[in-house]
Amino acid sequence: MTTFLDGNSLTLDDVARIATSPEHRVELGSEAKQAVKRSRAVVEHHVESNEAVYGITTGFGEFANVRISREDLEQLQENLIISHSVGAGAWIPRHFVRAMLVLRINALAKGYSGIRVETLETLVQMLNADIVPAVPEQGSVGSSGDLVQLSHIALAAIGKGRILTKEGTIKPSFDVLAEHGIKPIRLQAKEGLAMINGTQMMCAFGALSVHKALQLSETADIAGALSAEALRGTDRAFDERLHKVRGFSGQLQSAQNLRNLMQGSEIRESHRDAAVDNRVQDAYSLRCMPQVHGASRDAIGYVRSVIEREINAATDNPLIFPEGDNPADGVHLEGGNFHGQPLALALDFLAIACAELANISERRTERLVNGALSGLPRFLAPKGGLNSGLMIAQYTAASIVSENKVLCHPASVDSIPTSANQEDHNSMGSIAAQKGWRVVQNLERVLAIELLCAAQGVDFLKPLRSSVALEAVRGAIRAKVPFMEIDRVVYDDVEAVRDLIERGVINAVVQGE
């Protein structure tokens, strides 16, 4: 499959697919190539006329007032890449770097960056050959974009960096490019700056985090519905009339999901009679699932809208605006589209939204293992005392949601000046992006624990059966994790369920897929 990049039509699904599928190819669209050529012609005119243009004929940051001689313009760009490659920490996983590459190519393809087509084509060749630069995770302050991380990508493209192989080893980029018949880029005026001024690291983490969070918001409803069944909760709190009078779309969607998931359940029918079950209403972790899950759904939807806009944005500086066919009429505008504040705020919000899905999930897990609250065997152990059952599974969930609370401290409220106070407000969006991804991963683990416990709880209610959809979920879990009669290593069980979530199996079986 091939995706054509034009700077305007890349989608969230495209980014996720390209990031995780090395066989997926990209190509520059013909209109994109023409747009790139027009902006390049404007840059070359500025060079010929010796006009003072930031980053083209001047130094960078605090050195913007230093004019650079024409014979040093190429060296200026290479020096920029070398000097800015100052990352620290572990290597960013390969699929995130692939996402960074496609996002940067797409931004440059808009035709406002002044880069040459052949330079852009080299980045395309690298992505299609699955040549993934080794990029350290630390170093971006989220303004002037993700300068450090993008510099390490550019360093690899000019043959002076490193490549992170599929096996996890590191090789010199010059050697790997040669193996694939790719010539290292020899940077010309503006090109180094064009390659590193942008938000593509934080946007890559944001895109893949949102893509996963959208899936997990569906899984949260499934886990919650299975827990409600195990705890013999009511579905009256999910009545559409109740949710319409408040009107939040996420709440309405979650309520509908919960109704559909529990529809036709024998377990639900077994306790409709007030003489059998005199409870008037359930605890909040069951009754308020539509309100809590729905609020997180709406928040994730907002973050998605921000990420989808940024995916197709021009984010470097200066931006080049060709006017007509004459390059002399072109305009360069120095500004700050590289500033990560829109992403920083949104990604902090994403972390909070996902942490809340995990918080309420852990509370349902607590009710499942607490015999005083559930009416089920304590800690879901058939022979409790000799066996501890799923006691410590709830401990792990509690530990993870506590970690999330620390990770949800907003990165975007911080700013440390850089570049001799020329860059005196920074977004810290890269930090928001990376901790946001960790919260999303944590949510997946907490939901896996809830599903594991809920399936065990429903098994105790046999011969009553749940709905068709939830029986399919329980069946998918039981195909990998048998009912726990006696104690065993629960880590393996949690990982097995987490793998089902990650591969989309839990969501798919509900749809009958």
* Residues with active-site annotation: 54
The C-alpha torsion from 406 through 411 and 413 to 416, rounded to 10°, is 120
Which of 155, 193, 156 minimizes the C-alpha distance to 76?
193
CA distance 486 to 314: 58
- Which stretch of DSSP H or E encloses residue 444? helix 429-459
Peptide bond just before 463 cis, omega within 30 deg: yes
CA distance 80 to 58: 12
Using an 8 Å Cβ cutoff, are 459 and 483 in contact?
Answer: yes
Q: Quick count: other Cβ atoms within 10 Å of Cβ 73?
A: 17
Maximum separation of any 2 CA atoms in the chain, in Å: 91
CA distance 454 to 437: 26
CA distance 235 to 69: 74
Q: What are phi and psi of 90, to 5 degrees?
A: -70, 160
Give how far Cα 59 sits from Cα of 67, 72, 144, 328, Å: 7, 11, 14, 23
CA distance 3 to 1: 7
Rg over CA atoms, the chain: 27
Q: Exposed, middle or buried: residue 342 (CB in 10 Å: 0-12, 13-18, 19+)? A: middle
DSSP state, 377? P
Give how far Cα 111 sits from Cα of 24, 220, 345, Å: 24, 42, 28
Which of 462, 467, 443 minimizes the C-alpha distance to 226?
467
Report the 3 state secondary structure along 109-123. Answer: CCCCCCCCHHHHHHH
Peptide bond just before 342 cis, omega within 30 deg: no
